[in-house]
């Protein structure tokens, strides 16, 4: 009996030791949290939470970090079961300690109507591991572009950097960076929507990969084959590694441009467009990967400026031109404040004599307002050099507003002072950046009111890609028309919507682009196109203006083809407001002279 007793005492002692040493916190409390039993691990994990240094009640100890625990128990109705499972609580680091917060996991189990059993463990390391795993996954995601499954900028940069470093120690190692950008991507996005744009990007990526795969076959290892990545938007970069011969760059560059310019079939449509490329050769790489990427993009811009659909090899002299363009942006910010912008006016003349009249009512059927920039050191900068930049850097809003306001005020002054001689219609160019602004309609309304301009005397010129844009732009164009003004389609023929879709555009006038007018006399094709445009426009009740008339032969031809109005250097170059008044006086009743 004594032996049995001592045997059971031994077992009891062993059980106590087991619970005592368990590397996990165990405790038992009453339902109101009073701690009845607690093992050393529990005590050491929970003690830092106790404010007065004792551990009488679990809920009191956890009051600050898990105030809802008490409620959780009260609200738990079954007579037994898990009240909470692996609840994570953060124990803030106290005092000066630089250690990170500790994270505890607590599970509470209702044993019966009187008692709870608790399990406490330190999960700080586990949480840290989870977090670093998440960080790794996020990092991996950041290294692959979701849309094209191509490596992203950081990866491209790393690879270029490695190539640069290798070239420093291996004189025979050769590489090149090819930077590509599609020539009309913005237009595709604007007119067909972002989904179509995304699809095009995916197709471009596939083609680049396929073209490079062909090159990579052979005796290359994974680490030295060409890689293609996407930097963002429609910008792609290829690193040609381990070049065998200098001519290889030219062959690959041309092949990539060729595959990119094959037609794309997207949303049931065949899209045709080309790409431009800038190439940086090893010998011109003087800085790091970022500098090489920047230089390749500078060469790409040169390729675009030369007409696109080509590659241009970077040369250091290109830096100067790029700096000039960059300088324009910062100067443009000051230009408005310094009153460096001004507006000139190009007459638009009536070509057809109205039936029953001897001569046109006024030679100036209208004027088109064109912005100019008198730069303090560069002289007069043409709009084509800064409108695009203004759109990119968000300055087009204020610039467009300035032009509209100046032109409307000038127009009402002419009306007041010149009477019969004054131009009938004021045309002002609109840019896509302005239509994106939700307050634009209000701005126009305010300018009409403050200048006293009749809305019907104002015509806003939009391009095809703008007029055919998404619903929000369409709605805004309708709101503008509701103000009583009219819209004209600028540069017709240069975009890619056709005569057949003219009726879908909310415009009252079609301006036939200068490229058609200048070819019309010598090219039957252009001649026929103008004729067809005039006919379709007329059938839709739209007016027509032939742009860029430079010779009498062109004027005679477009008049004979039925164009209603004409504009061009033959009649007048764009003039200052004062010179326009002289021009109007000189050209009054020209048939009478
Ligand atoms: P656009 O709207 O097509 O304007 C007509 C352009 O053709 C003007 O160039 C005009 O000077 C030029 N031009 C007119 N007749 C002839 C001709 O017989 N021969 C030749 N070779 N050219 C002729 P400009 O003023 O340099 O403007 C270029 C473009 O810049 C404009 O093309 C328009 O798209 C844009 N632009 C000008 N002013 C503004 C503005 O205030 N706002 C916006 N958003 N764009 C503007
Ligand atoms: Ca225009
Ligand atoms: Ca035009």
Q: What separation in Å is there between the alpha carbon of 108 and the centre of ligand 2? A: 75
Query: 555, 549 in Cβ contact below 8 A?
Result: yes
Greatest mean pLDDT among 139-148, 399-408, 435-444 lies in 399-408
Ion ligand 2, residues whose Cβ is below 5 A away:
429, 461, 490
343: its two tokens: 């507006």
> How far is ligand 2, taken at its centre, from the CA of residue 368, in Å?
7
pLDDT at 322: 79
Helix (H) or strand (E) holding 269: strand 269-271
Ligand nearest to the CA of 488: 2
384 Cβ closer than 6 Å to some ligand 1 atom: yes
The confidence score (pLDDT) of residue 517 equals 93
| Beta carbons within 8 Å of 42's beta carbon, 6+ residues apart | 25, 26, 27, 118, 120
pLDDT bucket at 593, cuts 50 / 70 / 90: very low
The whole-chain average pLDDT of the chain stands at 88
Work out the pLDDT band at 503, boundaries 50, 70, 90: confident
Determine the Cα–Cα distance for residues 586 and 572; give it in Å rounded to an integer.
12
Residue 574 Cβ < 6 Å to ligand 1? yes
- Cβ of 55: how many Cβ atoms within 10 Å? 17
Confidence of residue 363 (pLDDT cuts 50, 70, 90): low
For the Cβ of 387 lying below 6 angstroms from any atom of ligand 1, the answer is: yes
- Residues contacting 413, CB < 8 A, separation 6+: none
CB 343 within 8 A of CB 410: yes
For residues 217 and 196, what is the distance between their CA atoms, to the nearest angstrom? 32
CA distances from 157 to 152, 160, 174 (A): 9, 5, 17
Residue 217 CA to ligand 2 centre (angstroms): 52
The alpha carbon of 49 and the centre of ligand 2 are apart by a number of angstroms equal to 74
Question: In the prediction, which pLDDT does 397 show?
Answer: 92
Which atom, in ligand 1's list, is nearest to the CA of 430? 44
Strand 269-271 to 264-266 pairing? antiparallel
Q: What is the mean pLDDT of residues 156-164?
A: 94
Candidates 336, 349, 370, 551: which one to mutate for ligand 1, based on the most atoms within 8 Å of Cβ?
370
Whole-structure pTM value: 0.57
Please tell me the number of the ligand nearest to residue 462's CA. Answer: 2
pLDDT for 190:
78
pLDDT above 70: residue 2 = no
How many other C-beta atoms can be found within 10 angstroms of the C-beta atom of residue 156? 24
| Mean pLDDT, residues 106-125 | 94
Helical segments of 270-340, H only: 289-305, 318-337
Q: Which of 2-6, 144-148, 443-447 has the highest mean pLDDT?
A: 443-447
Q: Check residue 535 and give its pLDDT.
A: 92
Mean pLDDT of the 550-579 span:
96
What pLDDT shows up at residue 533? 92
pLDDT of residue 139: 79
Residue 461 Cα to ligand 2 midpoint, Å, equals 6
Which listed ligand is nearest to 371 at the C-alpha?
1
Confidence class for position 495, pLDDT limits 50, 70, 90: low
Helix, strand or coil for residue 37? strand
Asked if pLDDT for residue 180 goes beyond 90, the answer is yes
> Higher-confidence residue: 516 or 466?
516
Which residues 6+ apart lie within 8 Å of 400 measured at CB?
A: 430, 431, 433, 434
Q: Which residues contact 268 (CB under 8 A, 6 or more apart)?
A: none
**What pLDDT, on a 0 to 100 scale, did the predictor assign at position 591?**
46
pLDDT computed for residue 592 by the predictor: 39
- Is the separation of the CB atoms in 380 and 372 below 8 Å? yes
Which residue's CA is the closest to the ligand 1 atom numbered 11?
574
Q: Which residue has the tokens 């507006």?
A: 343
Mean pLDDT for 86-100 is 75
Mean pLDDT of 514-532: 88
Residue 151 beta carbon below 6 angstroms from any ligand 1 atom: no
Does ligand 1 come within 6 angstroms of the Cβ of 459?
A: no
Q: Is the CB–ligand 1 distance for residue 588 below 6 Å?
A: no
If you average pLDDT over each of 39-53, 341-355, 406-420, 490-504, which comes out highest?
Answer: 406-420
pLDDT in tens, 480-491: 999 999 999 998
Instruction: Give the Cα separation of 165 and 329 in Å (integer).
Output: 34
């Amino acid at each position: 009996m004594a032996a049995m007793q001592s045997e059971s005492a031994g077992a009891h002692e062993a059980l106590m030791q087991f619970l005592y040493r368990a590397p996990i916190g165990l405790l038992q409390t009453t339902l109101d949290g009073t701690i009845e039993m607690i093992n050393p691990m529990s005590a050491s994990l929970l003690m830092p939470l106790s404010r007065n240094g004792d551990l009488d009640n679990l809920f009191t100890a956890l009051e600050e970090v898990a105030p809802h625990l008490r409620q959780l128990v009260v609200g738990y109705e079954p007579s037994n079961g898990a009240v909470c499972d692996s609840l994570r609580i953060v124990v803030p680091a106290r005092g000066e300690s630089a250690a990170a917060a500790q994270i505890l996991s607590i599970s509470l189990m209702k044993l019966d109507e009187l008692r709870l059993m608790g399990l406490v463990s330190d999960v700080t390391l586990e949480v840290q591991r989870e977090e670093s795993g998440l960080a790794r996954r996020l990092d991996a995601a950041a290294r692959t572009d979701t849309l094209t499954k191509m490596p992203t900028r950081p990866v491209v940069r790393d690879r270029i950097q490695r190539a640069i470093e290798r070239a420093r120690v291996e004189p025979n190692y050769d590489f090149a960076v090819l930077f590509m950008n599609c020539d009309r991507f913005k237009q595709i996005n604007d007119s067909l929507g972002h989904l179509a744009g995304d699809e095009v990007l995916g197709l471009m990526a596939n083609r680049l990969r396929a073209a490079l795969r062909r090159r990579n076959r052979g005796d290359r290892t994974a680490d030295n084959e060409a890689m293609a990545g996407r930097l963002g938007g429609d910008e792609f970069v290829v690193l040609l590694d381990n070049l065998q011969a200098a001519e290889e760059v030219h062959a690959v560059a041309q092949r990539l441009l060729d595959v990119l310019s094959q037609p794309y079939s997207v949303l049931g449509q065949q899209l045709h467009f080309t790409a431009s490329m800038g190439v940086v050769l090893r010998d011109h790489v003087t800085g790091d990967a970022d500098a090489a990427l920047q230089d390749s993009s500078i060469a790409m811009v040169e390729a675009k400026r030369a007409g696109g659909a080509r590659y241009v090899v970077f040369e250091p002299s290109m830096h100067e031109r790029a700096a000039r363009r960059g300088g324009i942006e910062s100067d443009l910010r000051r230009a408005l404040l310094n009153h460096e912008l001004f507006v000139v006016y190009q007459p638009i003349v009536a070509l057809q004599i109205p039936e029953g009249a001897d001569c046109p009512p006024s030679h100036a059927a209208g004027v088109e307002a064109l912005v100019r920039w008198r730069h303090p050191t560069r002289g007069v900068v043409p709009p084509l050099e800064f409108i695009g930049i203004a759109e990119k850097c968000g300055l087009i809003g204020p610039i467009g507003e300035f032009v509209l306001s100046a032109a409307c005020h000038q127009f009402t002054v002419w009306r007041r002072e010149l009477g019969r001689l004054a131009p009938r219609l004021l045309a002002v160019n609109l840019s896509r950046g302005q239509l994106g602004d939700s307050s634009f309609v209000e701005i126009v309304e305010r300018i009409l009111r403050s200048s006293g301009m009749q809305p019907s005397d104002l015509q806003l010129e939009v391009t095809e890609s703008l007029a055919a844009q998404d619903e929000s732009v369409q709605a805004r164009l309708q709101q503008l028309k509701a103000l009583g003004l009219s819209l004209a389609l600028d540069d017709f023929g240069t975009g890619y919507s056709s005569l057949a879709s003219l009726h879908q555009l909310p415009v009252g006038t079609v301006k036939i682009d200068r490229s058609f007018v200048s070819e019309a006399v010598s090219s039957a094709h252009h001649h026929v196109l103008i004729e067809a445009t005039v006919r379709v426009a007329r059938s839709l009740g739209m007016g027509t203006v032939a742009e860029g008339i430079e010779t009498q032969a062109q004027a005679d031809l477009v008049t004979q083809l039925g164009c209603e109005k004409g504009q061009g250097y033959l009649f007048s170059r764009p003039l200052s407001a004062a010179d326009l008044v002289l021009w109007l006086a000189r050209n009054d009743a020209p048939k009478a002279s």
